[in-house]
Amino acid sequence: MGKTIKTHPLSIDEALAARDAGAVIYAGGTDLMIGRDLHAHAGRPPEMIFLNAVSKLNEISSKNNKICIGAMASMAEVAAHPYVPEVLRQACQSVGSPALRNQATIGGNICTASPAGDSLCALYLCGAEVELRSCKNKRCLPIGDFIRGPGKTALKDDEILTAVYLPSWNPDISAYRKVTPRMVNTIARLSMAAALWVDHGIISRAGISLGAVGPTVIRCRELEAALTKTALAKAVENAQRFAEMAKSAICPIDDHRSSAQYRRNVAANLVYDFLQRAGSPIKQEVPGG
């Protein structure tokens, strides 16, 4: 590559220098072999740089009404941290097995850009932004602008995703659900993250996102708008009508994990179940499953 690079950088600057020199950066390494094949060129893969020694990228902090999650924070660390919204904690807790959660990172899960990525549904719901840095520049993008399709992101050749920012986020009711053929070590057939803000019995704000139902995570904007300014009791009473709206919001495909019709039906069922459970006392987190 023409430059000497550190395969185990100790600082963000060293990692950026390695990236600028053409190295491929990896985090937890759970998709490493796939990524190595994809990046191989001219019969020789590029230098692989592991970020585990860059301690700054592991930090989780709160400042100015924003939560900052370092890209190298593991799923287990995110799931256990009190600053992190409950819906994202549930999503990260759903990842694989304990061993996998201790290795996989939030930044790696985002950059893999799988529509079934376990953290992504919750990150879209929370309005996450990602911080992208190079030797020359730093920029932030909403996660919906960063992820462009399956395995495709806005990350430039000289950039590293260094952090995830979440706005202050405190819904009255929230839930994360992941549908899989078995409890652990399985890619989601479909996932949902949902939240309601309720003021004197009226839904003042609603958020619902669905994963593995299109090329990227999908926010159900029309459903959210329909729920807003609706009495919570009415939303529960008309849960089936609102649930049907989820079917038109998504664009699933038939694949080896399930059919498009299955995904449409399950999406509606998840929304229905969420609204039914929301009829319980306010200020709760609806259990995941």
Residue 20, token pair as written in the block: 């600028």
Decide if pLDDT at 150 tops 80: yes
pLDDT of residue 208: 98
Cα(143)–Cα(164) distance, rounded to whole angstroms? 9
Phi then psi dihedrals of residue 117, to 5 deg: -55, 130
Q: What is the pLDDT of residues 218-271, one digit of tens each?
A: 999 999 999 999 999 999 999 999 999 999 899 887 776 778 899 999 999 999
Cα(154)–Cα(49) distance, rounded to whole angstroms? 20
Q: What is the pLDDT of residues 17-34, one digit of tens each?
A: 999 988 888 887 766 655
Q: Is 142 helix (H, G, I), strand (E, B) or coil?
A: strand
Cα(109)–Cα(194) distance, rounded to whole angstroms? 20
Percent of the chain topping pLDDT 70: 87
Residues 144 and 154 sit within 8 Å (Cβ to Cβ) = no
Cα(34)–Cα(61) distance, rounded to whole angstroms? 32
Q: What is the pLDDT of residues 188-226, one digit of tens each?
A: 789 999 999 999 999 999 999 999 999 999 999 999 999
pLDDT of residue 281: 57
Read off the pLDDT of each residue in 63-70 and give the average, rounded to a whole number. 94
Taking the whole predicted model, whether its pTM rises above 0.85 is answered as yes
One-letter identity of residue 253: I
User: What strands, in cross-sheet order, belong to the sheet with 60-63?
Assistant: 60-63, 66-70, 160-167, 129-133, 138-142
Cα(54)–Cα(12) distance, rounded to whole angstroms? 6
Q: Is 197 helix (H, G, I), strand (E, B) or coil?
A: strand
pLDDT of residue 283: 47
Q: What is the pLDDT of residues 72-126, one digit of tens each?
A: 999 999 999 999 999 999 999 998 888 889 999 999 999 999 988 999 999 999 9
Beta-carbon contacts of 51 under 8 Å, excluding residues fewer than 6 positions away, are 9, 15, 25, 26, 27, 57, 71, 72, 160
Residues 181 and 167 sit within 8 Å (Cβ to Cβ) = no
Mean pLDDT of the chain: 88
pLDDT of residue 207: 98
pLDDT of residue 41: 52
